[in-house]
Structure 1
Amino acid sequence: MFKNYSILLTISLYIIISSCAQFVPPTGGPKDITPPNLTESFPKNETLNYKQKTIRLVFDELIDASSLRQELIITPQPESAFEVKVKSNELLLQYDKPFLDSTTYTFNFRQGIKDLNERTPAKNLKLVFSTGNEIDSLSISGKANYLWSGQIADEVLVGLYTINKEDTIPVLLRKPNYFIKTDTSGNYSFENIKSGKYQLIAFQDKNSNLIFDQSKELFSFHPDTIKLDSNISNLTLSLYPNDRTELKVKRSLARRNNYSIAFNKDYEKIEVNFPTDDSLTYQFRREELLFFKHPNTSDTTLTKIIVQDSLGQKLEINTKIYFQEDPETKTKIEALSIRSEIKPNIKLKKPIEYIFDFEYPIIDFDTSKFKILGDTTYLEKYTFEWLDPSHTKISIKTNPIAKRDLQLNFQSGAITNYKSDTNSTYTLINTLYPQESYGLIEGTINKDSSNYIIQLIDSKTTQVIDFQETNSIFSFKKVIAGNYYLRIIKDANNNHRWDTGYFEQQQQPEEITIYPELLRLKENFELRDIVIN
């Protein structure tokens, strides 16, 4: 028994001693915010004729390089893969192939190396070496912003592409020879660049593949080939939407009550024709065209569709529209929903346009079961208009005499769709802005004689509140007090819209400028004499 007790005591003491011996980072005291400092590198910075496949860096403290692959930018990018090894205060990059001959390489580590305890990143850590007899020393720098907002474009990829006869792959289908990402101020700077001809391009690179994905990423390019034989600075790149993908049908799907044609991108204009006497109602949706089984109920309906996107690209479709067979069951009457673009309880500005969407075509609007009541007393006058040929969207306009509030009401059964579904009672109540809430914003365009589209933008929501087309004077009346920006679009071809660029033809997008001052409009106040140069 004494022997068992001795064994138990020995085990207990071992556990206590082992627990005390575990490493616990020291607590208390001042926080270590000193970044790791590079004490040694192999090769040394600006080494010439370097032929090895290994990069070794030594620091003055323990390091963490877990995010190095995401942060490290190497220009030009080596063709071979590399392995990252960290041992204590040393970093080793091991490549499986030699670097290209007579090439200057720049390793920008950005935030990729941090001290182990506080994760403070090393500052301005960069390594430059050459596999030839000289270090390339030319530079290109500038700034990037977003064309539509004028805001700084940070963490955007900026690439330099060599232009020579040996390049058989189109620029937008290959990776840049040199690339960098903009900093938090939108600045970019290429250093140690070889002399030659280059194309300068910027894009968002959301999937980090170093290739521009035009359907999802914003884009910009410098309009001319750069002949680099001296340092160049102050090149501004303004990123904009540039989706030039071909318009295609993504899928077609037949259901019991509708037939859907989905496109790979949004369209600007669509035309539907029925070559025979049969016809169907249809509805335009974002990137989709929806046909309904009404009024024609035959098995198939021949249809010709012409779709056009914002670039003017057209797609012509000749197809047969059909629907899934109905089971032999009694059709169930369902409640018809009413969707409004105006939400309850928000303030409205006179005159007012209500827009309502319906899921299926409407065959009857009983106006005797509809009314707009002002200040709970006045029966307001209104007009209505169907906005599509299939009666799935309606506009109701009123310029009320009420001063405080409006109450819009659809009584039960006011709306009936082709399936005989009807609505339940729907009421929408909103307050009105008083007359003294309004102000005026007015000014002149002091540019060339081109047509300009002036957009008034709410600084909080960034929504376009109003717009005008002019080549001289603009005047926004009855503007709600608030803070606004002005966006000025040069409509160079007078087609009443903004046109994107065309890289393959080296055509820049139509010019957009943001008025530099925030317009602070007070109630019953006028901002005049705004000059846009």
Structure 2
Amino acid sequence: MKSLKLIYALIVILLFSQCAKQSSPMGGPRDEDPPVLLEANPVDQSLNVKPSEITITFDEYIKLDNPNKNIIITPRLNKDEIITAALKNQVIVELNQELEDNTTYVFNFQNSVQDLSEGNPAENLKLVFSTGDFIDSLQLRGKINNYWPTQQYDPRNVIIGLYLENDTTDLFTAAPYYLTRADSLGEFQIENIKEGNYKAYAWFDANNSTKAEFKSEPYDFLPEVIEIKENLEGIRFNLSQSDLTEFRLTRSSYTNGSYDFVLNKNQIEEEIKVEGLGENIFYSTEDKRIRLFSNQSISDSLLVNLQLIDSVYNKIDTAIWAKFPDTERRPEKLTMNANSGKNFTDTLFASIKFNKPVLTIRTDSLYIPVDSTTRIQIKEEMFSFQDSIKRTELLFKIPISDTLGIEIFTFTALDSTFQDIQGQYNEDEIRANYRKIKKETLADLLSGTIQGAEPPFIIQLIDSKNEVYKEQKLTNSNDFVFRGIEAGTYKIRVIEDQNGNGRWDPSNFYQERLAERVFYFLDDKGAIGSIILKSGWTNEGIVIQGNESTGILK
């Protein structure tokens, strides 16, 4: 009986010992060692080989993390044909395609190969071999920058690609011949390049397609073909987004009181010529739409000349006959919204935007109540239309006395204050609040200079909500001064407005035109810096350094 109990105990011990070999005991040390390469076929730096399959063996069981994204293969292969699998302690890559003659291939596995238990990635795992009798060794090094970074932007998702000079594809149509990804600092390096002439691009590959989406992904390009016959350093890309979609008028028609021109994307400039514009005909602009209104029916068709420009300077220049017939349909309601929630010191700046042109305003219904018996009456000289042939935005400039003992001022517009071009009155009231703050709570001064760039400039103070708090344009000077700033934390952004049109112009790849430069005040580590301003403070001597232009730095 004792012997049976002894045998049973030994069996239990053996079972537990076998289990212990499968995994670390609870509370034991964590495996922090990465997989170690034992052998590869073909061997790294092999010559005159054309493998149909690559096998890499490690010292432990492994797994693969997103191999389609994380394994970078250069020159370009058809990734749709490649099958990559992890089998126990091996990575097997089936190429399923013919390799080019006399070409050096690089398989950079980055962090894709990890141990099975803890996910530790194999370090510096790269396999290089040549189908010819030598290894190409030229290198391209540089850095990427993003003019308009967002929280979603990670430089490690930026692809830098080289295309052969005679390649008919580009960053929007096919994966590059050579490619790499930037690191967390935005630096990149492409190795083992064959001597030759190349077109160079960089883009944020959000959807992991190894191609750029010009409507949704920031990109940049070198306008000139580069000759690589020696190692090149100092390549610079500045990413930004631009919609290169063809600019089209998709339809035009009379719709419920307005003649509408519907576009496939928004215009940034418009010139409209039609008889009676600004007298009995006005227009509004909405998302991808221009609406032409008349305050009377017109029996004959009117010739409307449209000249429109989009953000990348594509143009529409057309003439269309528009009609304004009688209709019994009830026009859409007049709607409006105000810029409520703003602070001010001695002058209240308010604005109201309308969905249609407004023709008449009852000023007796416009006021700011002070108490139950006192109000500030808003007079005609206190407001004007932002554009007199649109009449869709009213700007108010209302002086407020310091003697009034309230802090919150409620701008009030009663119902039936505004009448639009179709005879509709506003059915709802507007009550928008604005806060009066004391001048002594403001920072006195923020000033500095811009180096490494030439005016004209647009310089912006960006608040903690990432909105433009103040903006000024510098035409002939590199020095800027902001006064009377609300206490808070700000960033400073500068746009190098090369053509002086008062806005930032994106790149146009098809016209080989680069985007206008954008740069920021940087901290000691070279990141976008913040400036804290407090009441009564003066902050002078700020230096904003212009970043390098796209291209090869000399």
TM-score, normalised by the number of residues in structure 2:
0.80
Deviates more, 1:440-449 or 1:229-238: 440-449
Aligned to 1:483, which of 481, 486, 489?
Answer: 489
Q: Give the corresponding residue for 2:104.
A: 104
C-alpha distance in structure 1 between counterparts of 2:397 and 2:31, whole Å: 65
Partner of 1:441: 446
Contact 2:311 2:506 in 1 (8 A): no
Aligned to 2:39: 40
Q: Distance in 2 between matches of 1:135 and 1:446?
A: 44
Map of 1:5-16 to 2, 5 A cutoff? none
Amino acid at match of 2:160: V
| TM superposition shift of 1:507 | 4.7
Give 2:337's aligned residue: 339
**Structure 1: which amino acid aligns with 2:504?**
W
Q: Any idea what the Cα deviations from partners look like across 1:177-209, whole Å, max 9, x if unmatched?
A: 101121222121111111222232111233444
Change (3 A) 1:177 1:325: farther
Hey, what does 1:306 align to over in structure 2?
307
SS state of the match for residue 105, structure 1?
A: strand
**What is the distance in 1 between the residues matched to 2:340 and 2:416?**
21
SS, match of residue 227 in structure 1: strand
Does the CA contact (< 8 Å) of 1:35 and 1:114 recur in 2?
Answer: yes
Q: What is the aligned counterpart of 1:159 among 158, 161, 166?
A: 161
1:113 corresponds to = 113
Distance 1:369 1:168, change over 3 A: closer
Select the structure with the greater relative contact order (CA < 8 A; seq sep ≥ 6): 2
Structure 2 equivalent of residue 15 of structure 1: none
- Candidates 28, 40, 43, aligned match of 2:26: 28
Q: Which runs of 5+ in 1 are unaligned?
A: 1-20
Deviation at 1:307, TM superposition (A): 0.9
CA distance in 1, matches of 2:222, 2:231: 16
C-alpha deviations, 1:375-422, integer Å up to 9, x for none? 885626561112342433222222322472211111232223325343
Give the one of 450, 460, 466 matched to 1:461: 466
Q: Return 78-87 or 498-507, whichever deviates more.
A: 498-507
5 Å-filtered alignment, 1:68-467, equals 68-79=67-78, 81-148=81-148, 153-163=155-165, 166-168=166-168, 173-222=173-222, 224-252=224-252, 255-274=255-274, 280-292=281-293, 294-296=295-297, 298=299, 301-321=302-322, 331=330, 336-343=334-341, 347-373=343-369, 379=376, 383-388=382-387, 389-402=389-402, 404-417=407-420, 418-439=422-443, 440-445=445-450, 450-463=455-468, 465-467=470-472
1:524 aligns with 2:536: yes
8 Å Cα contact 2:340-2:433 kept in structure 1: no
Q: Relative to structure 1, is the Cα distance of residues 100 and 279 closer, same or farther in structure 2, using a 3 angstrom cutoff?
A: farther
Residue aligning to 2:16: none
For residues 319 and 503 of structure 1, do their structure 2 counterparts lie closer, same or farther at Cα, with a shift above 3 Å needed? closer
**TM-score normalised over the length of structure 1:** 0.83
- The C-alpha deviation readout for 1:210-244, integer Å capped at 9, x for no partner, is 33333332222235433222222332221123444
1:348 CA drift (Å): 3.7
Aligned in 2, Cα 1:449/1:55: closer, same or farther, shift over 3 Å? closer
Q: What SS does structure 2 have at the residue aligned with 1:291?
A: strand
Helix, strand or coil: the match of 1:422? coil
How far off its partner does 1:98 sit? Answer: 2.1
Q: Is the 8 A contact 1:281 1:295 kept in 2?
A: no
Unaligned runs of 5+ in 2: 1-18, 524-529, 546-554
Letter in 2 for 1:239: L
Contact 2:308-2:316 within 8 A present in 1 as well: yes
The alpha-carbon distance between structure 1 residues 475 and 419, as it changes in their structure 2 partners (threshold 3 A), is: same
Distance in 2, matches of 1:332 and 1:271, equals 26
Equivalent pairs counted in the alignment come to 504
Q: Give CA-to-partner distance per residue, 1:279-338, whole Å, 9 cap, x none.
A: 654211233212347433659654222112244432123224458996x77x4996x543
Shift in Å, 1:369: 0.9
Name 2:548's counterpart in structure 1: none
Distance 1:324 1:296 in 2: 5
What is the distance in 2 between the residues matched to 1:433 and 1:229?
Answer: 64
Shift of 1:100: 1.2
One-letter identity of the residue aligned with 1:437? T
Report the equivalent of 2:476: 471
Q: What are the Cα deviations for residues 135-178 of structure 1, in whole angstroms up to 9, with x where unaligned?
A: 11111112111134699734111111222xx4455676553210
